[in-house]
Structures are given as structure tokens and as C-alpha cells.
Structure 1
Amino acid sequence: MDVEKSQHDSAQAPPELHKGLNNRHIQLIALGGAIGSGLFMGSGKTIHLSGSSIILTYMVVGFFMFLMMRAIGELLLSNSSYNSFVDFTSEYLGARAGFFLGWSYWLCWVISCIGDVVVIGGYIQFWFPDLSLWIPAVCSLIFLVCVNFFSVKNFGEIEFWFAVIKVLAILVLIVVGFYMIFTGFTSPNGVEASLSHIVQQGTIFPNGAFGFIAGFQIAIFSFMGVELLGITAGETKDPEKNLPKAINSIPLRIMLFYILSLICIISITSWQFVSPEKSPFVEVFTLAGIHIAAALMNFVVLTSALSAVNSGIFSTSRMLFGLACQKDAPHVFEKLNHKKIPFSSLFFSGVGMLIGVLLLVIIPSVMQLYTLLSTLCAILILFVWGLMVCAYLSYRKKRPDLHQNSKYKMPAGIVLSYACLVFFGFALVALLFEEDTRVGMYIAPFWFIWLVIAFKYRDHIHAYFRKRFN
């Protein structure tokens, strides 16, 4: 009898993912997530809007990202059975919240990947200006989807080396940038590199308070991916040790990679010469006349976009798998292959991204399409981040015993969680200040209307899929 019961329980237990990510993978995934493609591609537009106050923008956003990650870290480590943040959101805020969060996060990464493969086409045109944008976009997407089919270690290894390239490139930019500043390098347009460009008149808030506030959109999008650690929990070895270590390193990384690199860019080029249509990381070397370095930096920002797509492919497949395990997505997405990879979820997400690349036919402008997609991502990720912080507040109210016994408590958790929610609300309002970001605000409500309908009829949707795929 006991044997039969054990076999029955085993049959009912959800499939488990392979724990193939070790400490070095987790550290570099955290690092890669904290250095998004928005920094490389979108910071030109943000500098154009905000001037040197962009430095303050990234410091503010980075501060709240760290607080949010501390909340996520404490929640994930409070229960070893959590595979992702959907699990604790469903437990503390209810099934509807988990459904909304999971599907919104899935769509967020699908849109983000579409945006990133779009800019991949733009980066390739640096070397092949006559090449159609969709060709490198489609090829890179298909390649990364295929790589992720084999094992989670493949994802970890690729992300590890992509992150290494990003880190080395930014360090080189910082070293070369400060060398140019201290030697008084003068670019072909007559600008002498100097730290004074950061504080000179008209530079800090060149477009006033509205320009400063509007700059938060790309900054928010740049940090999308920092929460990716909350997806890797189910495939991480020794999460009690590795997750806190990765989260605690976020502030130093923000100061080193975001703040210092932006200081270098503005000091070398002066903000008025930074193009909103191009990557300032490439432009800084182009303006300086160092064309080989510009080509190398273009390669780096290309790998950054590939890294973001790789992360998106991983996270969408795992999120869809988690939703299926929670009965919030059709059961077909719960299936694993012999390598314990959710292959049906991976395939479905990849097809969704591939269809989205067709937007290049409708909107051929890389920056225009990138702005629209990054705005939609910013709206969705603010919603996701907000729900996770609300889940933390519910956890503190419902399970004070778990908080008391936690070895990784969020400092001043309740007060700072409310501060995070206020900031997320402010960032959402900031999207209304610019016409090109306002369009995303008009489109986003349709997604939430669809979620309400889908949640109401999810049992019927499940029954349909069971009938078709069983």
C-alpha cells in the first residue's frame, strides 16, 4: 500500500529542472543582467534627454533595484521548494496575481528579445550597411534557441562568456576614457576631453525636469534582467550561498559599470554631441577617430544584445514551464526532454519572438521600433517588480516567523518596500512625458484586459489543449 502511494505521489509530482548552474554561472548571470543592452544602445537617447543627470538617474534606479533584489532573495530562500518568483507571488498574493505576473514576465522578455534582435541587425549594418535588418535578426534568434535546447549548462556557459566580454569592454572603455580625459585628448569635432563637461552650464538638466524624468524609461529597461536570478533558483547549486553573494554585489557593479562608463562618455564627447540614434559606446571611439576601437566596441554591444536574447530565451521557457506546473498554462508546456529542458515552452517562446521580428517590415527604423518595444517592456517589468514587492509585504505580514528565522533579511524591509512601490509608480508616470513612450502606455492596457479574460476561462483553455495534445 505504501509503495503504491509513493508511486502515485511520484506520478503527480511536477517535473524537476536540472540543477546545472554553478557559482560562476550565477555570478555572471547576475552581472550580465545588471548590464542590459539598454545601457549600450539606449543610453545615447537618455543622455540626449537628461544630459549628465543621467548619472543620477542610473544611481536612483540602481538603488531601488538592489532593494527589490534583497526582497526577492529573502523570499526565495524562505522556502527551498520555490523555483521562481511566480511561486511565492502565487502563495502570498493568490493565484490571479501569480497568473498575471508569470504571463506578463513572459511577454516582457518576448518583447525584449524582439527589440534586441532588431538592434542586432543595426549593429551588423556597421560592417554590412546594405544587409537587410531581418536577416541577422532571424539567424541569431534561431541559433540561440537551438543552443538552449541541449542543456541549461549551455545557457550558463554562453551567458558567462557574453558577460565576460561586456565586463572587459566596459573596463577598457573606462581605462581608455580616463586616459583620454587626463591627457586632454581632443576629438575631430574640437571637443577636449574633460570631467568639466559633466557639470558645465546647461549640461546637468539640459531639457529641464521633464527631460530628466523622461530619461527613466531607458534606465528602467537597462536594468531589466537583474531579476533573472529569481528564475534561476530552481536550477542553481547551493542557492543559500550563491544567491546572496550575487545580489550583494549589485551596488558595486552598478557604480563600476554604469556610473563610471557614463562619466567617461560625457567627459570625452560632451552631451550635445551624443547621438540619440546610435550607441554612445561606439560613437565615443568614432568621434575620437579610433575606428578599430569603434569596430571592437560595436562587436561588444552586439554580444550584449545576443546576451540579452539568450537570457530572454532562457527566462521565457522557464517561466512558461513554471506557469504550466502551476496550472496557469496548458500542460503541454510542462514537458521536459531527456536533458530536463522544457522544450515545448522553449519552442513556443522562440516562435513568438520570430513572429515579432516581422515588425521590422512595418517599422523599419531601428531606434523607433526599439523605443516602442523598450517602453512596453518597461511597463510590464514595473508591473512585475511591483507585484514581487507586494508579495514580500504580504510575506512579512503572514509569515513573521519565516522572516525572524531568515539568514538573509532585507534591511528595513517594510519601509523600503513601500519606497520601491512609490518609485515604480513614479517611473510609470514618467512614461507619459514623451510622445514616443506614450504610445506604449496606450497599447499596454489591452494586454491586461486579455489577462483578465484568459484567467476567467483558463479551465476551458486547459481542457482544449488536453483534448488536442493528449
Structure 2
Amino acid sequence: MSTTHGKRALSPGTREQTHRSDGLQAGLKNRHLSMIAIGGIIGAGLFVGSASGIAKAGPGILLSYALVGALVVCVMRMLGEMSVANPTSGSFSAYADRALGRWAGFSIGWLYWFFWVVVLAVEATAGAVILEGWVPALPQWAWALVVMVVLTATNLASVGSFGEFEFWFAGIKVVAIAGFVVIGGLAAFGVLPGSDSPGDGFANLTAHGGFLPNGADAILSGMLLVVFSFMGSEIVTLAAGESENPQRAVTRAISSVIRRVGFFYLGSILVVVCLLPWNDPAIAEKGSYVAALDAIGIPHAGQVMNAVVLTAVLSCLNSGLYTASRMAFSLGRRGDAPRAFARTTMRGVPQAAILASVAFGFVAVAFNYLWPDTVFQFLLNSSGAIALFVWLVICFSQLRMRRIILRENPEGLLVRMWFFPYLTWATITVITFVLGYMLTDDSEGGGRIQVLLSVLVAVLVVAVSLVRSGIGRSVDDEVVSRW
């Protein structure tokens, strides 16, 4: 008889755990997971993308961040429910495999991998721009190469090396944002000694055309601009599978997600719009955080923020390569990717999965320099809505996995989604609405083209998975008939 049926009888998490002794290793310490959980939600997009959101929605951008933050909190709660009950390196892809079918796990796993390898190219280029500004003797492409090579070596060394690098990268981001919120908040209310800020308090929230100067519709437009800066919060659930105590790490991360979204995102943006009028030209020219630091009177604010942004970029690169490789590893374990991806070195590192991920990243970097407005722009647009697809799959998977967990492992249900299933369905509705609203944005490189191209890529991947499933069933049927 074919062994395929026997393998499918086990859950994805179970199939992976049977190989854990000679596969991935528990090399991440609790402090690594804690900082990954905190820093994972602070992407470079927060530093460099918030200015466009403020220009679009004015002070009302706070509502945009609050709404998207609420979505992230709900999605992370659902993912936490499944991850605590069954920690696995495949995270939501493995749960989709179990709850929705092999096609879902295959499709969302490869789409997520594609998203992160494109991010590798974006972040490597962003980091290279900053480094070239500091050391112009080395061309931009060379800096991108250096950054990619260094972080590839870090990931290849051991999962502990990744964790240590990410601990310090994330730590710098956290300290920088926390310092900005505290210092900026004091300056906004005129209690910071030596500050150049007039100390207007909350006056700037309504003094320049009102809280919603561009109308209520701008809140939704702002959501489209900020939604992708939250991508990365789910990384801790993938990393937990290589920690000493996965259940504890995920439980703590999920419990603190509301505080992290509230403080780092809403807190820092509130400081910006309190310190400066939302339509101050400096926000668009310098970026929201640099403009705010200049308003306070912090010397060399631009270089200070460039250093913080570079740290955020390196953190995103480091965690992106880790995430892409672990998703490829999980796909290999489940037979949805080349088997080589599932093999690990003596140090517990999926070397082939890492090298394959970084290779595509290198190719994407090359596209960015050779054909930035054609091939690379297509890659960007075709991965633009994948974050929302991932969140939708997490929602639908949780609807099914709750029943499976209650039936097979009720004692593992230590984290529960609030108001199940009503809040899950409400989250699905809001995400679907955001996708639909994106279709109304017909600007160049806007939401419509991103959704359409992302759907096209998703349809192609799903088609491949269905064809593979059909071929697999045909082979199994042939073997059964021979027996």
C-alpha cells in the first residue's frame, strides 16, 4: 500500500515533531523569543511609511492604526490559540493543511515564502541606500550584497545566532521607539527642559482642519497605507517551535500584543501628530519621526533616525530570511517542497531552505537594479495583498481547528479566541472589506493592482496544489488497484 495515506493520517505538527530530535533544535532562549515577539511587530514601515499615512488622513491616521491594530490583535489571538495547542515550525500553513486541506497549507505556505523573499530584496536595497550615504566609496549594489551575505551567514550558523542578532536588533528598535514616545510626549506638553517645541499638547489634533481634515473616507485610505507595516507579528509563532518552552513563549507573546500595538504604534504616531501640524511640509520632506525630532531640537536627528531605520531594516532582513526558510522547511516536511528543504545540518539548521530563500532574494535584488519599474514592480505588486490573504487563512483555519483541538487535545486550549466564533467572523468580514476597498484605489501601484496581481499569483499557486493533489490521488489509486 502507498505510504501517503499513513502520513496524511497525522497532523502536520505531529509529522514534524517526529523528526524534531534529528531536525530543528531548541536553540532559542526565552529572552530571544520575548524580544522577537516585541520587535517583530515594529517593522521598518513604521519609520518610513507613516508620513504618507499622516498626509492622507491627518490626525485621523490614529484611527487607521487603531483599526488595523485591532485586526492584528484578533488574528494573533486566533493564531496563538492554535500555536499553543500545537507549536510547529509551519505555524498557520500547517494549521491550514490540517483544517482546510492540503491545498490550503501548500498555497498559503508558498505565498508567504514568496512575500518574505521579495521583502528581502526591498529591505536589502533600503539598507544599502543608508549605508551608501554613510560610505559612498562602496556602490549601493555592493552594500546590498554585503548585508545579504552577512545575515545569510548568521542564519546558517545556528538558530541561536539568529536569535542573538534579532535580540539586539529588536532591542535597539524597542529602546528607540520607547525613548521617542517618552521624550516626544514630554516635549508635546512643554515639560521637556531645553525643548524647541511650543508644547501645544493635543491642540494640533484639531487645529488644522479638524481631526479628519480629509473626511472620514481617509481613515480607510490610511488603513491601506499602514496595514502592511504590521506584517511580521506572526513570526514568534514560527520561532516558538525552536524554543525551550514553546507554549509559554507563545502565550506570553499573545497576551502582550495589545500593549505592544498600543504603545509602539499608536503611542509614537500620537506623539508625531501632537508635536507637528499634520500638514507640516517637514513630515513629507524628512519623514515623520525625523521631523518630530527636529521640532524637539534633537541634534543630528536625521542621522539618529537613519541609524534606527537601518537597525529596523537589518532586523527585518534577519527575521525575513529566518521566516522564509522555516516555512520552506515545513513545506519540505509535508512533501509540499523539495525534500532537501527538510534536511538539517548537525547544528539543526535547514541549510538548503535558507540558501534557496536567499538565492531568490538575490535574484529579486538584481531585478530591482536592472528592471525596477517592470519586473521588480510586478514582484512588489503581486505580493502586496498576501498579508491579508494570510490573515484570512488564519481566521478560517481557527474556525475549524477549535473543534479539532477540543476533540483531540482539549487540555492544550490554554489560549482562547474571544467571543468565538462571532469575533472570528467579524474579523473575516473586516479583512474582506479592506480587500474590496483596495480595489477602488486605481492609482499607479495602488491597491487595485496589488489585489489583482496577488490574486493572480494565488490562483496559480492554488492551481499547482490542486494538480499535485490530483496526481497524488491518481498514483495512490493505481497502487491500491494493483494490491
TM-score by length of 2: 0.85
- 8 A contact 2:187–2:296 mirrored in 1: no
1:455 alignment partner, one of 440, 451, 465: 465
Instruction: Give the CA RMSD over aligned residues.
Output: 3.1
CA separation of 1:128 and 1:230: change in aligned 2, threshold 3 A: same
1:388 alignment partner, one of 390, 394, 397: 394
Structure 1 window deviating more from structure 2 (37-46 vs 135-144): it is: 135-144
- 8 A contact 1:220–1:378 mirrored in 2: no
Q: In the alignment, what sits opposite 2:407?
A: 401
- 8 A contact 2:382–2:454 mirrored in 1: yes
TM-score by length of 1: 0.87
Q: Counterpart of 2:300 in 1: which secondary structure?
A: helix
> Does residue 46 of structure 1 match 2:56?
no
Q: In the alignment, what sits opposite 2:12?
A: none
1:382-427 deviations in Å (ceiling 9; x for gaps): 1111111101101234454358542222221211111111121122
- 8 A contact 2:29–2:244 mirrored in 1: yes
| Deviation of 1:378 (Å) | 4.4
Q: Distance in 1 between matches of 2:291 and 2:380?
A: 21
| Deviation of 1:429 (Å) | 2.4
- 8 A contact 1:109–1:312 mirrored in 2: yes
1:121-171 deviations in Å (ceiling 9; x for gaps): 333355357864433222211211111100001111111111110111112
Query: Matches of residues 249-268 of structure 1 in structure 2 within 5 Å?
Result: 249-268=256-275
2:422 alignment partner, one of 395, 415, 431: 415
Number of residue pairs the alignment of both structures matches: 450
Q: In the alignment, what sits opposite 2:453?
A: 443
Q: In the alignment, what sits opposite 1:338?
A: 346
> Does residue 177 of structure 1 match 2:184?
yes
Query: Matches of residues 56-455 of structure 1 in structure 2 within 5 Å?
Result: 56-79=63-86, 83-127=90-134, 132-183=139-190, 194-273=201-280, 274-276=282-284, 279-286=287-294, 290-362=298-370, 376-401=382-407, 405=411, 406-434=413-441, 435=443, 436-437=445-446, 438-455=448-465
- 8 A contact 1:149–1:343 mirrored in 2: yes
Structure 1 window deviating more from structure 2 (227-236 vs 80-89): it is: 80-89
| Deviation of 1:175 (Å) | 2.2
Q: Counterpart of 1:206 in 2: which secondary structure?
A: coil
Q: Distance in 2 between matches of 1:358 and 1:241?
A: 41
Q: In the alignment, what sits opposite 1:19?
A: 26
Q: Distance in 1 between matches of 2:408 and 2:214?
A: 48
- 8 A contact 1:151–1:339 mirrored in 2: yes
1:421-441 deviations in Å (ceiling 9; x for gaps): 112112212323431323323
Structure 1 window deviating more from structure 2 (444-453 vs 106-115): it is: 444-453
Q: Which one-letter code corresponds to 2:309 in the other structure?
A: V
Q: In the alignment, what sits opposite 1:467?
A: none
Q: Distance in 2 between matches of 1:291 and 1:148?
A: 36
Q: Distance in 1 between matches of 2:275 and 2:38?
A: 26
Identity of paired residues, percent?
Answer: 31
1:235-276 deviations in Å (ceiling 9; x for gaps): 021122221111111111111111111111112222112544
CA separation of 1:247 and 1:343: change in aligned 2, threshold 3 A: same
